[in-house]
């Protein structure tokens, strides 16, 4: 097994992540953008289908997401939706501090092929800002 590293394709487990609405819960994120000297562009991942289709690949209607079949071939053991309409830009210092404090853990890495497909899905969406595009 190869060592998981913080970079594009890393799957992060963030303990007690605080959402904008004040809710706090453990959350998975996938790193989609990580350029040297810049921050990390991450998208939330969920195993809850909530109003999304279950056809593998990229989807843009009504929100942008990428569906991964939970067969373990692409890291995830459960069916997983990468929520490309719910992205966060994590500051490098914050993320490294959370990792040091044990609140952020790299639990694995997606393979380059699936990571590239997810990134291309995001690039083709209307849910991307100029800053986010720069981080890709």
For position 71, what pLDDT does the model report?
86
**pLDDT score, position 4:** 64
Phi, psi (degrees; rounded to nearest 5) at 82: -90, 115
* Residuewise pLDDT in 10s, the chain (136 residues): 345 678 899 999 999 998 888 899 999 999 999 877 779 999 999 998 878 888 899 998 778 999 999 888 888 999 999 999 899 999 988 888 898 898 999 999 999 999 999 999 999 988 788 889 988 8
Question: Distance between terminal CA atoms of the chain?
Answer: 27
In angstroms, the CA 118 to CA 104 distance is 22
* Cα dihedral 104, 96, 136, 85 sign: positive
Please tell me whether residue 50 adopts helix, strand or coil conformation. Answer: coil
């Amino acid at each position: 097994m190869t060592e998981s590293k913080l970079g594009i394709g890393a799957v992060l487990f963030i303990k007690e992540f605080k959402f904008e609405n004040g809710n706090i819960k453990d959350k998975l994120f996938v790193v989609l953008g990580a350029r040297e000297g810049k921050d990390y562009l991450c998208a939330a991942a969920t195993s809850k289908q909530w109003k999304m289709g279950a056809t593998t690949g990229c989807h843009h209607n009504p929100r942008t997401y990428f569906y991964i079949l939970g067969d373990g071939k692409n890291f995830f053991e459960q069916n997983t939706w990468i929520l490309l309409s719910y992205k966060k830009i994590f500051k490098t210092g914050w993320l490294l501090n959370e990792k040091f404090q044990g609140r952020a853990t790299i639990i694995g890495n997606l393979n380059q092929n699936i990571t590239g497909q997810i990134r291309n899905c995001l690039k083709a969406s209307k849910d991307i800002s100029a800053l986010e595009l720069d981080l890709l």
